[in-house]
Structure 1
């Protein structure tokens, strides 16, 4: 009997019995500039319910954030100098519509201008090596392994809560690439494998590029994005229709991000229900 209690105490001290809160819903987010956040956040975007948290994927001393720690999800939610993203109003909308007992956490690892190959577990290093200096500089913030950083942060987060889904907004840099859905599937499958996630319980929510009616320069990519559910049964496409864009035809305005983020949330609420 004494030996039994000694073993239990050892397990507790080693962290194996650490409490994981089933009411802490965690979501991973990755992509390029529209997931990173291109629009400047405003005062209204810095007011947030404490039930909505962000795990910082990089050190942000100017915001008092340390990599791997949870903080109230005030913009910016990606890196220190990024802007408003779909994850901002995704989280806000979830906690507004979920019971008060539920907390929501997001982890956002994104880099503007990157192709989906940036998150390729096997070939990310060669992709980064051939990239322009501006992208290399952003990759350095993730120790030149963005996929690895996302997995690292997700594994930390799993000690605190339960991963409920993955958000993606990427494709502008792969416009016209019909092999893109297969590349996304590979990233998704790798994440599920490394994090021991059930594909039936882990939806992938993929947002469309700026729409043609908003002058989207990459709107043709939306047809390719729309084929994702053919390869990933639990993939769901988030429409960008009527989401306001800015003049460059590539990025959403702040209001566009808010609307797109809410749409990610509405889809997730249906799946959670």
Structure 2
């Protein structure tokens, strides 16, 4: 409740999940600011959102899918931990469409960057260039295996923009994927939630879905697990993200925690997902009608994870 209260006062529709990593049990499930009613002191705007469930709402995930792309590229041997990636002007000719020229949030180019810095600072161009090598089909298969069952379109439909979150997912799916990351690629731990004895678990078990390209075992071998652990280490490194988030970032917590943020186009959605050894915390902020948030840059969305983590992201 404390996580959502500050966002509700800012008239920011939002949702949050808190999960016990050991069991996958959902400890907190908040679908909207007025989920707990007037006790939060929500504004009329937020109160009208009470009938919506932001945990299940389908939204573009922004950069939150990048860790899984980098892990797959490491697993395939396309990159190594010490690889240098290129953040340079890049253009793709798309048949029947305009030239695709990805650009970063800062609209600047960093040139050659270390792998750790490229992920930590969530640079867009290195991610798109990496997806070109991994192949969209392989990445989409991996996302299906992770539990993103609402990515129902073809690889051709999503294209290279999938690296930047061109599809639609929900907070439940995203939390499940990060729970798998927290477990080093082990998919045997599933999110579980009940309300008055009724299961709230989502849809079918994506771990049983089939795919022709890159379906790993539910428990990875030691070599593959090392690539998952490396991604966790990168997301836990405050120095790796300092250029984009600052040295005194609110994402820097007084205990080890892996954190990733994401923002969809036109600031329609902002996300923060983080995990420690014990807990995974995920938040979404956005308008339920899908309209842009003009005040998105000032939203205290990363703080929501910070406040949750201080009690345990």
Structure 1 length as normaliser, TM-score?
0.29
